Structure 1
Amino acid sequence: MSPRTTRVAGWILAVSVMGVCTALGVWQVSRMHEKRAMLEAVDAVLARRDARPLAAAHAPEREGAYDWAAGEGRFVDAPAFVLDNQIHESRPGLRIYRLFQPATGAAPLLVDLGWTPLVDRTTRMPAADVVAGEGLLDTPVAVRGLLAPPPSSGLALGPALAEGSRLMTRFDAGAIAAAAGLQAPPRRVLRLDPALPLGYARDLDVLPNTLPPDKHLGYAVQWFGLALAALVTALVLTFRRPRR
């Protein structure tokens, strides 16, 4: 292979590497901006706390947005939906969801009751009283909290819900609607105000189990640095003097 052919092949490889690294860096920057905008929107909602009715959870024009909502009703007397592999304060556990029927007669909405530790690592289920909803299903209650988009479903590998079970390996709105007999998948989830004496350990962090904006920025810098390194390496190999 001639020196010219070698240089051309080297530049093709270098440009390919630079293109991939630059694209990944740009994607990380876009994710950083998306998450910063998300946090700013949530901060604005939490600062105002202008309560919308619970029926706003089903408003198609607000899908993907954040709102503060409040209302009265009852938790539906049915087993909880349990999301596996959830981290809280560096501890693995489960996130508990229940359907809530507003007193206004609006369609039921899904309520995030918070995080609970594993009791049985074999079945991956919480304590029996959590599943049964003891203390939640007896009387009408007033709820309030942050209406937020459902958590990301991630990679869809296999069914989200095991047959005959409400243990979820990932959040799948369609599977929840089918199991609960809902007319439509939940557009948003009510994340309960941590000040309410209901549910389990919780907060209003909208980025649990995922990367914060600063992490995305750090990864973007790394990808751009690799693209620059590929360019410098190609230049050095191209213009260096060959040995005699």
Structure 2
Amino acid sequence: MKWLRRPSWFALLLTAAGALLFIRLGVWQLHRANEKEEILRRYAAAENAAPRDFSAVAAKPPIDAFARVSVQGEYVPDRLYLLDNPKHDQRGGAEVYAPFRPQHADRLLLVDLGFLPGNGTDQPPQLPPLPTGKQVLQGLYVPAPGVGFEMGGNALARQARWPKTTVYLELPQVAADLGATLYPQVLALDADPASIYVREHTIDFSSMPPARHRAYAFQWFTFAVAAVVILLVLHRRRPSKPLDRS
């Protein structure tokens, strides 16, 4: 190619390494997008599945699927936790959790009752009383909401009155607060039109949905193409100036 000067080995290696790195990152982003879409599909399928016995699922939780379960037992009275304003910033409010004692079980199950919208003030929303006596609950047995760094440490230990409020729900902290052992996942109750709680349970990928992974993949692939284009532009032969015959 007469229009191209021969690049150095260093330039070729640098360009190849950069392009391969960008392509690898793009492929990884596509892989993450497909993974998350598959998780969302499994979650949607579980919501429509027939409920299974909780004790059997808890003994051997499915690794690559979500389980819809049915469990009998009683709520622990007067023990409620408010996850402050998670995923509903435009409305205020809190996700409400209650400990539940399954029948013939030696540990407690934390139940996600649903989201309770705020009342326009800084005060926690008014909570309806928990049902008493034997209950039959149905819902998805899912991992607890994600946690992060909580400024000031364990907020539950500093509160003496119920309900207790936290910005991160950590099961070990809740277990210590209750003085009991908890199951490692939570029960997200099925939607109920008669309930005051809003139950729109899903896997929260709002910060990084599959579409955003694909957008990042496109960027990385664009960088790979740009690396090759830069190499070609930098090694393009400049047209020679005509000789001045005057």
Task: Output the TM-score relative to the length of structure 1.
Answer: 0.75
Query: Is 52-61 or 98-107 further displaced after alignment?
Result: 52-61
Tell me how far apart the structure 1 counterparts of residues 237 and 78 of structure 2 sit (CA, whole Å): 77
Q: Which residue does 2:33 correspond to in 1?
A: 32
CA RMSD of aligned residues (A): 3.4
Tell me how far apart the structure 2 counterparts of residues 118 and 182 of structure 1 sit (CA, whole Å): 30
1:192 is displaced (CA, Å) by 0.7
Change in Cα spacing, 1:5 to 1:44, as seen in structure 2 (3 Å) is closer
Question: Is the CA contact 1:148–1:188 (under 8 Å) kept in the aligned structure 2?
Answer: yes
Please state if 1:148 is matched with 2:142.
Answer: yes
Change in Cα spacing, 1:157 to 1:93, as seen in structure 2 (3 Å) is same
Question: Is the CA contact 2:82–2:94 (under 8 Å) kept in the aligned structure 1?
Answer: yes
Tell me how far apart the structure 1 counterparts of residues 150 and 239 of structure 2 sit (CA, whole Å): 55
Selected match of 2:214 from 214, 217, 232: 217
Any gaps of 5 or more consecutive residues in structure 1?
A: none
Q: Which residue does 1:195 correspond to in 2?
A: 192
Any gaps of 5 or more consecutive residues in structure 2?
A: 1-5, 241-246
Question: Is the CA contact 2:138–2:190 (under 8 Å) kept in the aligned structure 1?
Answer: yes
Please state if 1:236 is matched with 2:227.
Answer: no
Q: Which residue does 2:81 correspond to in 1?
A: 81
Tell me how far apart the structure 2 counterparts of residues 174 and 43 of structure 1 sit (CA, whole Å): 28
Question: Is the CA contact 1:98–1:111 (under 8 Å) kept in the aligned structure 2?
Answer: yes
- Which of these two proteins has the greater Rg computed from alpha carbons? 2
Tell me how far apart the structure 2 counterparts of residues 64 and 93 of structure 1 sit (CA, whole Å): 32
Listed one character per residue, the Cα deviations across residues 118-156 of structure 1 (whole Å, up to 9, x for unaligned) are 45765xx622x42xxx32143433211111122232x43
Change in Cα spacing, 1:59 to 1:105, as seen in structure 2 (3 Å) is closer
Tell me how far apart the structure 2 counterparts of residues 35 and 64 of structure 1 sit (CA, whole Å): 12
Selected match of 2:181 from 177, 180, 183: 183
Q: Secondary structure at the match of 1:187?
A: strand
Change in Cα spacing, 1:19 to 1:210, as seen in structure 2 (3 Å) is same
Change in Cα spacing, 1:199 to 1:160, as seen in structure 2 (3 Å) is farther
Tell me how far apart the structure 1 counterparts of residues 149 and 89 of structure 2 sit (CA, whole Å): 26
Q: Secondary structure at the match of 1:86?
A: coil
1:43 is displaced (CA, Å) by 3.0
What one-letter code is carried by the residue in structure 1 that aligns with 2:129? G
